[in-house]
Structure 1
Amino acid sequence: MSPFSLQPSLLARALLSALLVTPAAFAAGVDSASMQAHDPDHEPVDLSAVQVRASILPGTVEDLARPVEVLAGERLDAAKASSLGETVNKLPGVQSSYFGTGVGRPIVRGFDGARVQVLSDGLGSGDVSTVSADHAVSIEPFLANQIEVLKGPSTLLYGSGAIGGAVNVIDGRIPEAATDEPLQGRAELRAGTVNDEKTGMLRLDGTSASGHLVFHFDALHRETGDYAIPGFAESARQLAAEGETPDPATSGTLANSALRTDSGALGMSWVGERGFAGVGYSLFNTHYGVPGHSHDDGDGHGHDADDGHDHGDDTHGDDAVHILMDQRRTEVRAGLDELGVFETLRIKFADTRYTHTEFEGEAIGTVFDNSSKEARLELVHQPWAGWRGAFGVQWAHRKFDAVGAEAFVPGTEGNDTGLFWIGERRSGDFKFELGARHDRNTIDAVPQPLAPLRANSRKFEALSGSAAVQWELSDRFHASLGLDRSQRVPTAEELFSSGLHVATGTMEVGDETLGVETANRLELGLRWHGERIDLGAAVYGIRYADFIYQASPTSLDDPGNPLLDGGVPVRLWNQADARFHGMEADATIALVDNDRGAWDLRVFGDIVRGKLASGGRERDVDVEVFHGGHVHRHAARISEQGNLPRLAPARLGSELSWSNGTWRASLGAVRYLKQDRVATNETTTPGYTLVDAHLAWHRDTPSGNAWEVFLDGSNLLDQEARPHTSFLKDLAPLPGRGIAFGVRAFF
């Protein structure tokens, strides 16, 4: 049983009741002749032909010159996990951060955090998942209809926070069109062995008799206990460094890794012949443990001299660190078509209230509050001089506050206004895409006591431009070339942080003088569609000027050794030139298709390299850390050379799938290679292989409903897997062998 769920929540009880009665009630109460297999969520989907909602100009994956990956239908059902990062983790060029099963943020081509924007149908998620590695994304993947990953800079559409890419989750919570049937939906119940998971989900969509009033409702409840692991939580390297012999009783389970999540939404729209207007309200509440972290009674931090973590066996004790996150969001959306010189007008607005409370046992340690408002206006215009394009305006306001002994970031208030245009034009076998965006950004910070900020207000301007061409060499072979210049403004955390960051076990120090970083990218992409094989590949290079990263300084008093503050490593936000390059490929081969079924083989791989490129420059700096009510001053040296930290390792993966009428199955494996291209003071990570399998049986009923029973296996070899992208790689491995099973209903 999850320690976070001793009493069933009201949402959980309501959801369970609805799941038990809904399919039968609808089957009896709706004319069976009108109930066809109208819901595509359980059907095979040609992902290359799916409309990409993240692009303002309508187009499919095949139409766009920029690299995009889409999950929908059966592929999305098989990939859904408790975090967004884990859900998209098997797409080429995409991996996940990891801070226990409650936290996983997408990493796109080696970029994460403030460089990858997470969106809910085109608007920011409104959480603070970029502030710290232990903060969860406030989007529930199980409720998604479609997930889109824009690989490469997406600053033109979504601002500087998307300089590395964007992940757009489509959930349809505010309807934009009438449903196919008066009432339709889907539901799912599942359980899992690796963590005693219990998840229930329900979604309903319907249209009034007039055809103008459309509603949406969804709800989800998930509970898990601590998950099983192969061996001990701490790696052999960590145990050797500490000189400890672990208690055999602690083997096999990762303490303090339980999770409970509740999510729900209600939306309603008026839909007419030329447009729609709607409003929606949603909530997301999650409670999860932070494995590998506990606080002692001495100084309130419990960090040792080696890595800033206290690794007691009793992390379920009174000092265990756990997080309660709550978000409430109100959205308004409207659209109008056929406006003369303009094809469409779309308006979006979201008001998000977010609270994130970190507990040390029963006591409140730190509270993060984030209040944000965001609005977008998009106008698609008729072709001008052969160019079909769209204008857009985006405005965002954010007020952030952190209160508590471990509030390493001061309260800030920020505004961002962006104006952009994108366009496309076809000429014979070529399609050209152009775009430009200008942003103005202000960040105001509240000085901390005893630690006055040298510059508590900063203003930035960012200018980005992009050009791409797609060449249809034949009906089957397409090539694309993209060139981007993108800029990103520093975040409040990079500018103003100063103090103990418990999640990473470091003293984090910002730099108020940081400037805009600039990325220049060149990418070549190829796509081949044969009778029995689909192949995609891309190679890219990125040159960064003034790349913002965390440096590991060395002490001038003790040359060559990492700078420590009270035994905790110090990390400085710094800027230097950097270079990234990588490649990825994905192929699907139709092996056999006969009366015994269709067999397909999918293979994929990706690799990325990133390193500083400042010519081996070193410089001396004065470091000030505000900690424990005092300012600590150090003299240190920064070396601006070498690999960048926590870079995603290279991967090779394959999956053999089979389908035959009502049955489908698959067996896959992904090999994560050893990561030995590490940054200063960073350790290497051994490689590992994750094997998974899926089996599902699907049945359509005479009434037009459908049922599906599924069985999923993960990490079937029970391998000890420690992602290099994780701050907890030596404290918290991935879950061990697990079996998930359940039933889905479509009605």
Structure 2
Amino acid sequence: MLKRLFPIITLILLLCANSSFAQNDAYHITLNVTDENTHLPITGVTINLFPSDLKGNSDGAGLYKFTFSRQEAKTPVLVKYSAVGYHLHQQKILITKDTSILISLNPIVNKLQEVEIKSKQAATPRTSIATTLTEKQLEKTRGGTLAETLADISGVNMLKSGSTISKPIIHGLHSNRILILNNGIRLEGQQWGAEHAPEIDPFIAQQIHVIKGAESVKYGAEAIGGIVITEPPALPQTAAISGNVNLIGASNGRAVTTAAMLTGGLKAIKGFGWRLQGSAKKSGNIKTADYYLGNTGVRELNFSAAAGYQTGKSNYEAYYSRFSTELGILYSAHIGTIEDINARIEAGRPLESYNFSYNITAPRQKISHQLLKLTGHYDLDNHHKLDITYAFQKNQRKEYDIRRGDREAIPITDLVLSTHTLDLKLDVPLAHGAKRSYGINSMMQVNNNIPGTLANTFIPNFDSYTAGLFIIQHWIKEKYELEAGLRYDYKYFDAAGFRYSQTTAQEQQNENTEQYYGGNNSFNNVTGSAGILWKFNTRWHLASNIGLAWRAPTANELYSNGLHHGAGLFEVGNPAMQNEKGYKWITSLKHSGNLLKFNLDVYLQYISNYIYSRPDRSFKQTISGTYPIFRYTQTNATFAGIDFTGSYQFLPAFSYQLNASLIRAKDIKAKNYLPYIPADRISQAINWNLDLKGSYLQFKHSFIRRQTRFEAESDYAPPPGAYHLFTMTAGTSIKLGQQSMSINMSADNLFNTLYKDYMNRYRYYTHEMGRNLTLRLAYKF
């Protein structure tokens, strides 16, 4: 497809080049408007030229182009620039030839927060291959998990463990290969587990960015697959109180979700702003197309608070959040004997019948995650900018299993992970609109198994110390932008664990069964990335990015040798694991026309020492039941794929939308297919925008192919068949004086299809969720 598009692009460029020579009697002027502090382009600047009648706005690249006849150019021209958040700027220019003029606008002090938001969005520089979900888009998915919120982005899928646990997949990679930033802080929990969902409340986000490239230079290790950035709203600069309230109800699971946010300031302290936010959720047993899934309820309670103070040259902010959830683990994933598990896999569904219930019993998980963030931003002399950020995170994960006697109230796993991070970044402006950033990142982690579980530890206690240095430079030109960076990381990992080497109660009484494990490991790596954006014109852009990222093996990949309770698997690690290194190239072609808009991403990634868990088709019988055995191994692997997102407005009120993604992944050592790679998928939708108030109706169809690229006899059951899903969504917005009410209704799995998804780790025993009707109300004041 790219071979067909390149001749078209070349032809367009030639036509544009030819047209520049067509008028020899005129001068061609380009105004390049940038922010004086960040040196990034400013969109939507109003530009007036006097005494002529020319008037316009800068485009997405901060550019405004106009043509002056030689006759008009005999006298100086007065140019005035105005933009929200910037001081009015004017200058006189004498036009004597074709030229490009760079203009820097000075931000207004009392709009400092808005300027800061733009500088923070350098997290998604224009040379990155990134997708942003806006506030309006997020309103249509409120009430879902982070993975469910991102699932409609082309190239992003979900890894699920039953119906209650999900985590995002970017280009076939997940868990410790996806870096998640919560309000600018990398999320540090027990994310190594396939059934350990990210501890983030999506209600805090005003925008969510997904970077698909391997851009670990700025963010550090583990960004092999991509980066997810949740961005909360800016703190207010006035004393006026504002906020929103969300109320959501869903039919499947009889779920009820409520959330609220309140923001304001203090009249007595100019520059002070605050924000309070919270959410709660309760749902019961999920139902497939024709049966309930036992013990699949969820309870969730989240809270966050932020306060900040701004002066003319500095900005300080404190942020605290607490995420807590309790969720049931599907009964059918915990099975007594080998005969039972074979019978369930053959049946493909639970052998028991369940009714609806909100009760959550063992097996279950109980997780809490706390984050404290302190930041300081300083505008130094010569327009240098310094950012200092400290964060503390405490993650506690308790997993409860079905146990004898009164032991079900005792967690079988009780982990506490404490993380301290300190980050420093210095931005230095250079000549001709370039900018250089220097950074230092440091992290200290302590992971402890809390005594009293009366069970083997799944991963050991460990201390981990990480330090990193980076340098990034950004160049902005009229026709292109460049960004390149280099980084060095060092990690020290000290683990110490204890377990019984046998599994039965009688064998555990033997004094010789005690086993100590662990050891010291150190890892280091140099990474780099480079990206370029070609701006052919305002409608056609081409971006390309290449990056080297890495990660050290996690504690479970090194040392696990036991039952992973939440996953319902018996996992075996390998202490000899090496660093995983990924080399990723991704190119994106973007067209933004009046009627036709599309984005085509093509990527290729090579990962050396790729770590994955592989089913060995045997079972392990323990005191609590019988479980499939998965062993961690390493190989060299390749990932290649295409993502496409496009829309076409074929009538004033109607548009057609198409999303598609495919990925090919292989073990190049064994020349086999890799397991658990998403199947090809395509979704299409018809959108009807009823009026200018935001009323809309959407009918969507999704098709997911059967995963045919798998190794026979390598899994406990072959991949499930292809399936079609239909969704209908409608919404409107109602003005209530100065306030507004948004109403959104959706019907997922409209025709109540009974199906299985290959990326669900519980697909051996169960089907996916059936029809789900959701009503969302959002009141803003």
Q: Is the shorter-chain TM-score for this pair beyond 0.5, marking a shared fold?
A: yes
Alpha-carbon deviations, 1:7-34, whole Å to 9, x = none? xxxxxxxxxxxxxxxxxxxxxxxxxxxx
Which one of 577, 585, 597 corresponds to residue 636 of structure 2? 577
SS of residue paired to 1:97 = strand
Are the structure 2 counterparts of residues 429 and 722 from structure 1 closer, same or farther at C-alpha, using a change threshold of 3 Å? same
**Alignment-derived partner of residue 152 in structure 1:** 213
- Alignment of structure 1 residues 324-335 onto 2, 5 Å: 324-335=366-377
Matched residues in 2 for 1:410 and 1:305: separation?
32
- Alignment of structure 1 residues 230-379 onto 2, 5 Å: 230-231=289-290, 252-293=291-332, 304=341, 313=352, 320-337=362-379, 339-341=380-382, 343-360=384-401, 362-364=408-410, 365-379=412-426
Are the structure 2 counterparts of residues 48 and 489 from structure 1 closer, same or farther at C-alpha, using a change threshold of 3 Å? farther
Matched residues in 2 for 1:589 and 1:392: separation?
43
TM superposition shift of 1:443: 1.2
CA contact (8 A) 2:143 2:248 kept: no
Matched residues in 1 for 2:214 and 2:202: separation?
23
CA contact (8 A) 1:348 1:375 kept: yes
CA contact (8 A) 1:95 1:106 kept: yes
Matched residues in 2 for 1:312 and 1:132: separation?
27
Alignment length, in residue pairs?
A: 635
- Alignment of structure 1 residues 666-677 onto 2, 5 Å: 666-677=698-709
TM superposition shift of 1:652: 0.5
SS of residue paired to 1:79 = coil
Alpha-carbon deviations, 1:100-151, whole Å to 9, x = none? 44321110011001101122022122321x2322222110112321111111
CA contact (8 A) 1:342 1:379 kept: no
Report the residue type matching 2:672 in the other structure. G
- Alignment of structure 1 residues 384-399 onto 2, 5 Å: 387-399=434-446
CA contact (8 A) 2:483 2:530 kept: yes
SS of residue paired to 1:162 = coil
Are the structure 2 counterparts of residues 199 and 186 from structure 1 closer, same or farther at C-alpha, using a change threshold of 3 Å? same
SS of residue paired to 2:602 = strand
CA contact (8 A) 1:101 1:259 kept: no
**Alignment-derived partner of residue 486 in structure 2:** 436
Matched residues in 2 for 1:332 and 1:458: separation?
31
SS of residue paired to 1:212 = strand
- Alignment of structure 1 residues 566-605 onto 2, 5 Å: 566=621, 568-593=627-652, 598-605=653-660
Moved more, 102-111 or 325-334: 325-334
Report the residue type matching 2:417 in the other structure. N
Are the structure 2 counterparts of residues 263 and 464 from structure 1 closer, same or farther at C-alpha, using a change threshold of 3 Å? same
Report the residue type matching 2:649 in the other structure. A
SS of residue paired to 1:575 = strand
Report the residue type matching 1:391 in the other structure. Y
- Alignment of structure 1 residues 132-143 onto 2, 5 Å: 132-143=193-204
TM superposition shift of 1:89: 0.2
TM superposition shift of 1:281: 2.2
Give 5+ residue unaligned stretches, structure 2: 1-58, 63-113, 403-407, 502-514
**Alignment-derived partner of residue 738 in structure 1:** 772
Alpha-carbon deviations, 1:272-317, whole Å to 9, x = none? 2222212222211111111145657x89x99846789995627789
Q: How large is the Cα RMSD of the aligned pairs?
A: 2.9
**Alignment-derived partner of residue 613 in structure 1:** 668
Are the structure 2 counterparts of residues 203 and 82 from structure 1 closer, same or farther at C-alpha, using a change threshold of 3 Å? same
**Alignment-derived partner of residue 25 in structure 1:** none
Are the structure 2 counterparts of residues 204 and 303 from structure 1 closer, same or farther at C-alpha, using a change threshold of 3 Å? farther
Moved more, 482-491 or 574-583: 482-491
CA contact (8 A) 2:334 2:568 kept: no
Matched residues in 2 for 1:260 and 1:692: separation?
26
Which one of 486, 489, 501 corresponds to residue 549 of structure 2? 486
**Alignment-derived partner of residue 41 in structure 1:** none
TM superposition shift of 1:501: 1.9
**Alignment-derived partner of residue 745 in structure 2:** 711
Question: TM-score, normalization: structure 2?
Answer: 0.76
Matched residues in 2 for 1:470 and 1:97: separation?
32
Which one of 662, 665, 690 corresponds to residue 725 of structure 2? 690
Matched residues in 2 for 1:746 and 1:47: separation?
29
Alpha-carbon deviations, 1:377-421, whole Å to 9, x = none? 222111268641211211122222335425321122211111112
CA contact (8 A) 1:708 1:744 kept: yes
SS of residue paired to 1:105 = strand
Matched residues in 2 for 1:390 and 1:458: separation?
31
Report the residue type matching 2:682 in the other structure. L
TM superposition shift of 1:585: 0.7
Asked if 1:74 is matched to 2:136, the reply is: yes
Asked if 1:651 is matched to 2:667, the reply is: no
**Alignment-derived partner of residue 542 in structure 1:** 605
Alpha-carbon deviations, 1:607-660, whole Å to 9, x = none? 11111001x3xxxxxxxxxxxxxxxxxxxxxxxx41111111111111222221
TM superposition shift of 1:187: 0.7
Matched residues in 1 for 2:123 and 2:216: separation?
20
Matched residues in 2 for 1:287 and 1:48: separation?
46
Matched residues in 2 for 1:722 and 1:407: separation?
33
Are the structure 2 counterparts of residues 698 and 495 from structure 1 closer, same or farther at C-alpha, using a change threshold of 3 Å? same
Which one of 147, 150, 170 corresponds to residue 88 of structure 1? 150
Matched residues in 1 for 2:471 and 2:516: separation?
37
Matched residues in 2 for 1:228 and 1:314: separation?
11
**Alignment-derived partner of residue 181 in structure 2:** 119
SS of residue paired to 1:717 = coil
SS of residue paired to 2:326 = strand
